Chain A
Amino acid sequence: MSRTAIFENADEAVSDVEDGSAVLVGGFGLAGMPFALIDALIRQGAKELTVISNNAGNGEVGVAALLNAGRVRKMVCSFPRQSDSYVFDQLYREGKVELEVVPQGNLAERLRAAGAGLGAFYCPTAVGTPLAEGKESRVIEGRTYLLEYPIRGDYALVSAHRADHMGNLVFRKTARNFGPVMATAATTTIVQVDDVVPTGGLDPEAVVTPGIYVDRVVRVPARISSMQEDR
């Protein structure tokens, strides 16, 4: 009996998310966005969420739909402003959502640090820029670094290609993006996949995220086709 639970539908998988949770949401633009889990979270109703994701939503789907439903108190992301981020743009200008901008590599590494048990790390990115304000710095071998703290989630919502019953994951192409690091950085990691195969059905050499990081798996067969319709 694996510790990873396989759920029949996305609503059950997100049923316990509480108001005020920090939710890591995978995806880069639409690639790797866990649409079914986000839609289920909207139906579930949790509010006052802090959402950590690379972007602040595209169009009216995914993170944009969560924002549009008024469930997000704060966005932590690297690139909120895009050609189709009008939902976020309006909420931000109306003062209805907070924004913390984090350089993309720092976002990834701070998530990685959380999953790897680090207290903080020194990073050269953003030295001398407005994003360095208020951060501790240190010169190491002649180069200046900033102290960066981990970003943890109460939940991670991730989209992967295929899982086995132990929660081992493989991804597809650039839809991998933040998924593997976010899976390590949350108390509860929930993954939607195109397909679930029996344990032993994945090549161990090809597993990207070992099941130890994965708490819940939901099969959502129509991920790619529904994404295309949404475009």
Chain B
Amino acid sequence: MALTPAEVAAVVARDIPDGSYVNLGIGQPTQVADHLQAGSGVVLHTENGMLNMGPSAAPDAVDPDLTNAGKVPVTELPGASYFHHADSFAMMRGGHLDVCVMGAFQVSVTGDLANWHTGAPDAIPAVGGAMDLAIGARHVFVMMTLFDKMGRPKLVPECTYPLTGVGCVSRVYTDVAVIDVGPDGARLRETFGTSPRELHEQLGVPLIMPG
């Protein structure tokens, strides 16, 4: 069986080393937080200026001055800290974040990322912090379905959508496979509900097989 988004989030969480400083992107990557083990010491960064962010706020405990990057009301954990935007992005750009997890429209086998703009002429471009995260975090993980709604692979030889960053993604977590990407190309790590051979045929991109 292919994995559900929650199950993909659990696989990502499993691979985040204890004690890491982590930024989780808006949308599905947020779910990774639900699967981090208690006592893992993982500290969540939110780019609007906070470390050691806690879970979403209960409806009766909403503080409009305390939100995450998706503008969702959140909470603070003991040991939290606040800082302004230039500091928040300096710690990102400066390589102090261990991991960020983002969604994507496309990832290339060499780790190029396209996740901010479809390139459609009537689309209003909005980049937010995606380009800063892409080049800043030490490990950039992408969480996405491996195929789009039309069945086309989102892991591609070269991105056709406008790029967010060049050679910045290190690993792609999908519903059917986990794949490392980088200068040596794409390397299959594991598959879910399909065989490596089947997946290779379906993808049609060069893929270094496991083992």
Q: Do A and B come from one complex?
A: yes
How many Å lie between the Cα of A146 and that of B48 in the bound state? 23
How many Å lie between the Cα of A178 and that of B85 in the bound state? 5
B-to-A contact residues, CB < 8 Å: 46-50, 63-68, 71, 76, 82-86, 88-90, 92-93, 112, 117, 122, 124-132, 135-136, 162-166
A-to-B contact residues, CB < 8 Å: 28-32, 54, 58, 78-82, 89, 92-93, 99, 101-109, 111-112, 123-131, 171-181, 208, 224, 227-228, 231
> Is the CB–CB distance between B124 and A177 below 8 Å?
no
> Is the CB–CB distance between A112 and B163 below 8 Å?
no
Q: Other than the known A31-B65, A78-B129, A89-B124, what 7 A-B pairs have Cβ atoms closer than 8 Å?
A: A80-B124, A105-B92, A106-B131, A108-B89, A123-B93, A177-B85, A181-B85
How many Å lie between the Cα of A178 and that of B126 in the bound state? 18
Interchain residue pairs with CB less than 8 A apart (27): A78-B127, A89-B124, A101-B125, A103-B132, A104-B47, A104-B127, A104-B132, A105-B47, A105-B88, A105-B92, A105-B136, A108-B86, A108-B89, A109-B86, A124-B93, A125-B135, A125-B136, A126-B131, A128-B112, A128-B163, A130-B117, A173-B82, A174-B46, A176-B83, A177-B49, A181-B86, A227-B64
Residue of A nearest to B129 (CB): A104
Inter-chain contacts of A99 with B (CB < 8 A): 124-125
How many Å lie between the Cα of A144 and that of B157 in the bound state? 23
> Is the CB–CB distance between A131 and B64 below 8 Å?
no
> Is the CB–CB distance between B66 and A174 below 8 Å?
yes
